[in-house]
Structure 1
Amino acid sequence: MKPSGPLFTLLAGLLLGIFMLSLNATTGTRPTSSSNDVTATPTPAAPSTAPPTSPSPTATLPADADYAGRTADDTASVAVSVRDGKAIGYFCDGRSRESWLKGDVEEDGSMALSGTDGARLDGVLRAGKIDGKVTVGDRTRQFTAAPAVKPSGLYRATAEVRGAKIVGGWIVLQNGRQVGILNRDGKPAAAPRIDPASGAVTVDGTRLTARPVVP
């Protein structure tokens, strides 16, 4: 006996449903996320524990002062005047050789002063004194210059006396000793003594005034 048409149709639909369920299970299809999904909140960064950066200290130049002393071989004197980071130096052997030098003083106290004919003074201002070396001509001498409080220090006088150009330089040491050279039209010779209190000096019968040297 043949099955009726409606019964055949029902069986065919049941078989198709079983086949579709089996297909979904095999492919592993996952449902689409809904609008109710929770969004993860980022974790705030931990505050920095590094110490604040402190400002750099303000650099200071060496204090204004005058210095004077002898070379290590005791053949000459050296004086240096420091003002506002500038320096003037004077080397003098008290007979025939001298040199005026100038340059800058760095924040660490170092200085490199230069003069004519290749003269050079290299020193360091540290612990209240200047230690260094000075080169004049073909000789280099070590020296130490200690603080020079007036009347000790560096003096200079310029004038025209009886038609001659006079340029004098003096170093007055802390013990009162004087070392100086007087140039007459470029001819050096030992300088006469000055009065440390007033700077007065007599050259060829003419009274001059030697004044403290500053940069």
Structure 2
Amino acid sequence: MSVPLATAAGCGSAAPSDALLVSAAAGAASSYGASPDTTFVGRSADGIIAVAIAVHDGRATGFISDGLPIDVWFDGAATGGLLDLRALDGSRLVGGTHGRVVHGGVTRGDGAGWSFVALLGEEPTGPYTATSISGTDDRVGWIRFPDDTVVGTADVGGATGPAPSIALTITVEDRRYEPSHSVVGGTEIGPR
């Protein structure tokens, strides 16, 4: 079963409605659901954003990035094959798992929206992050794909830009960060 969110939601230009997102997610969900520790990675139907979702013990953390200004972290429930994640800025990510695939949609707080498809990944695939060790809200986020390509955004002093390469030692604009690490679902949301 597939859900044609890209055509139904008018991918890219208009935000999918909450009713459409919830309805589509419910239609895509199966009794399989996500296993306790899983990650999914994919892209929006128009290719603008990369999406990563980490699921752990009924909770999930999601991250979207276009490698420049789009940088949103989500947190929420992952139960019965359905994802309902929220961001601090009012953005929302919903989806439904169907085997090894998540069909879903993102609506940002500013009204922009995308439909997406994300596939089950294995380590080291998934979302990664590093936060500033200087006590600021600065944060770097990455999405690592199975072919080892990476999309990421650095949020430094409230301005966003391309993320540096994933590494143990990270410095952006003379600010040092904790070592990068993979995100466990339900444990990370930000910027704070």
- With structure 1 as the length reference, what TM-score do the two structures score? 0.64
Q: Which runs of 5+ in 2 are unaligned?
A: 1-30, 187-192
SS of equivalent to 2:132: strand
Change (3 A) 1:85 1:61: farther
| Other-structure match for 1:145 | 118
Which residues of 2 match residues 1-215 of structure 1 at below 5 A? 62-63=34-35, 64-107=37-80, 109-136=81-108, 137-160=110-133, 165-195=137-167, 199-204=168-173, 206=176, 208-214=178-184, 215=186
SS at structure 1 position matched to 2:89 = helix
Larger radius of gyration: 1
The amino acid across from 2:181 in the alignment is: R
Alpha-carbon distance between aligned partners in 2 of 1:200 and 1:178, rounded to the nearest angstrom: 17
What residue number does 1:33 align with?
none
Aligned-pair CA distance for 1:188: 1.1
Matching residue of 2:4: none
Q: SS state of the match for residue 118, structure 1?
A: coil
Aligned CA distance change for structure 1 residues 167 and 61 (closer, same or farther; 3 Å): same
Q: Decide which structure has greater helix share.
A: 1
Distance 1:104 1:164 in 2: 28
Tell me how far apart the structure 2 counterparts of residues 166 and 173 of structure 1 sit (CA, whole Å): 24
After the TM superposition, which segments of 4 or more aligned residues of structure 1 sit over 6 Å from their partners?
none
Q: In structure 2, how many angstroms separate the alpha carbons of the residues matched to 1:187 and 1:172?
A: 22
Following superposition, the deviation at residue 165 of structure 1 comes to 4.7
Structure showing greater relative contact order (alpha-carbon pairs closer than 8 Å, 6 or more residues apart): 2
| TM-score normalised by the chain length of structure 2 | 0.72
The match for 1:41 is none
Cα distance between partner residues in 1 of 2:137 and 2:77 = 29
186-195 vs 64-73, greater mean Cα deviation: 186-195
Unaligned 5+ segments in structure 1 are 1-58
State the alpha-carbon separation in 1 of the partners of residues 66 and 107 from structure 2: 13
State the shift of 1:207 in Å. 6.5
